[in-house]
Every structure is written in structure tokens, then in C-alpha cells.
Amino acid sequence: MSVPGTPAPERTTCAQARAEVSWVLLEVCCGLPLEQARRLHDDALLVATELTSNAIRHAGGTTAFGAGLSGDSLWMSVSDHSVEVPRRISSQARTPGGFGWMVVQRLSSQVMVDVAGNGKTITAELRLPAAPGGSGGL
């Protein structure tokens, strides 16, 4: 429970993160062939979901989420209150979970973890496919 008059920290849900990523990718996806647009959109939504759900499940929730375009890349950042750096967990086939961090790393062209103060920010970058007849993502 928060103190009256004190703004509550941002608590981005997985659905909100996916909606923001979809909005950021709207124009990019409209300029791509359907299959490329679908693959980019699906990969981006999966990374956004994994980053957000991991912050919710393992770090007490998100403190910030952002997504944007830079050059030929889509970036997504999630911040939380934990200073623990994500790591790959050896998971038994019968045990659910343990694959999210691996999925983020596999789908992203670059993943950065910045630990500062009493929290961290994870930023994942996905390369945009070249638009038909163009030389880059945008």
C-alpha cells in the first residue's frame, strides 16, 4: 500500500508491453512483406513478454518499460528493483519455466544488462529486416 499523495511505481503488465511494441512496429510492419512483418512482430512480442514477465515473476514487478526504433533496430527496455542479473537456469523437462532468458538472447541481436543503484535495466535489440527495394529497416 502506498502513502497517500505518493505516486505508485509504474507496473507495466505484459499486455501493456506488447501493446506498446505493436504500436512502435506498426509503420515498419506495414512496409514489409506479410511473412517478414509477422515474424518480426511475433519475435518482438515474445521478447517484450519474456522481459516483462521475468521482471514481474523474479524481481517484484517492473519500474519502467519502453520501446522504440533506432536506425535499423527495435529496442525494448524493462527496469525493475532487483540487482540480480538474469542467468540461464538448467531446467528439467518436467519443470515448467526456465527458458525465457534463453529465448530473449536467441531472438535479440544484442541484450544489455545495466545494474545501477538498487535495480537494473535490461535492453534487448532486434534488427529490422530490410524493406523491399530499400537498404535498411527504415
Domain segments of the chain: what residues? 14-86+99-127
Nine cell digits for residue 8: 505508485
pLDDT for 2 equals 41
State the Rg of the chain over Cα.
16
User: What average pLDDT score do residues 69-88 get?
Assistant: 93
pLDDT for 95 equals 58
Among all chains, which residue has been given the C-alpha cell 508491453? 17
Among all chains, which residue has been given the C-alpha cell 515448467? 96
Query: 86-110, pLDDT tens digit by residue?
Result: 877 665 655 566 688 999 999 999 9
d(CA 64, CA 21): 14
Q: Which of 9-13, 22-26, 79-83, 115-119 has the lowest mean pLDDT?
A: 9-13
- CATH class label, 14-86+99-127: alpha beta
User: What average pLDDT score do residues 27-35 get?
Assistant: 94
